[in-house]
Amino acid sequence: MPALTQQQIDHLDELMDQRWTREFSEIRTLLSGLGEERQRVALGERAADTSDEALLDTLSAIDEALIRQNLQDVRDIAAARERIKAGTYGECIDCGSDIGHERLLAYPTAKRCIDCQREHERRTAASGGRAV
């Protein structure tokens, strides 16, 4: 397990809870601005199912940049929570080193240490934006 205390993990998890709520609130606000017709199409048959997970699935089909970014943020939070459950939260997925607590405070869903993240971004930029 990475060098985070349970208290630090709990605090970071609380930050992710706040972000989760904020992201879904923004998604709902953006969705309401799409107009009644487009909203009806986007929600389709799922209107009766109001759970966050169902909303996440439904919104995945919408081609709106801001909503896509919010959805990615929510997916990142879900992935970070899975890493907490697995006991690997705070461990770089590339090199296995600890991700610094300060980095996690700034970006609680970070999955790479800063050095590996820079390398990942360099490779992605060199490949024309495709993750390699």
Torsion angles phi and psi, residue 130, rounded to 5? -90, 130
Judge whether 55 and 26 are in contact, CB under 8 Å. no
The CATH architecture one would assign to domain 6-126 is: Up-down Bundle (1.20)
pLDDT tens-digit profile, the chain (132 residues): 468 999 999 999 999 999 999 998 888 887 776 665 455 555 554 444 556 666 666 655 555 677 788 889 999 999 999 999 999 999 999 999 999 999 999 999 999 999 999 999 999 998 876 665
Torsion angles phi and psi, residue 77, rounded to 5? -65, -45
pTM over 0.75: no
Between CA 99 and CA 75 the distance in angstroms is 19
Judge whether 5 and 86 are in contact, CB under 8 Å. no
Report which DSSP code applies to 99. Answer: P
Q: Where are the domains of the chain?
A: 6-126
CA pseudo-torsion sign 107, 69, 21, 89: negative
Residue 98's DSSP bridge partners are 91
